[in-house]
Structure 1
Amino acid sequence: MTADPEDAVTIRAVAERLMKAHPQVDAGLVHSSVQTAYEELRYARVRTYLPVLMERRAQDLLPPDA
């Protein structure tokens, strides 16, 4: 599913933060985790906390040693 432009910026920012925090993890895996997190949260009514919730969920989806 394609994100709207504002959400696309959020997705990119979250992925960049996670890649900096976990340089040993494949970038593709990080992007897929962030995309999965976005898909799970995309219909949230309150959008204020979407970035932090996406980051936490994506972190949970990454391998435990990440």
Structure 2
Amino acid sequence: MPLRPSPPGSPQDAPAVRDMVARLTAARPAVARRTVEALVSSAFDSFREAKVRAYVPILVERRVRRMLDASCGDMPSERQDGEQAK
């Protein structure tokens, strides 16, 4: 049986999305929660065809953090993923 990707907002992704939005909103209080939710949703959507779902949440969070860092360059968020600022 082939693996089917979970759509964004699926029950499997819901806890990860909720926790991620909370972390990112706390790290960037100047950014509206709806903006963070939209970025997270868009990033999850970009991985909708991924066959291996285990790493999607961390990839999504890294992508959204980079987007937020780029848009708010003067206030870098906490680096929780081991990446260094460039």
Please, what TM-score do these two structures have when normalized by structure 1?
0.81
Q: Give the unaligned 5+ runs of structure 2.
A: 1-6, 76-86
Structure 2 residue aligned with 1:64, among 72, 76, 81?
Answer: 72
CA distance in 2, matches of 1:2, 1:50: 11
Q: Give the unaligned 5+ runs of structure 1.
A: none
- Percent identity reads 35
**Structure having the higher Rg:** 2
- Residue-by-residue CA offset, 1:16-62 (whole Å, 9 max, x unaligned): 11111111111111111001001001221111111110101122333
| Equivalent residue runs for 1:12-27 within 5 Å | 12-27=18-33
1:9 — aligned with what? 15
More helix, by proportion? 1
Q: How many residues align?
A: 66
Please, what TM-score do these two structures have when normalized by structure 2?
0.65
After the TM superposition, list the runs of 4 or more consecutive aligned residues in structure 1 that deviate by more than 4 angstroms.
none
CA distance in 1, matches of 2:8, 2:64: 18
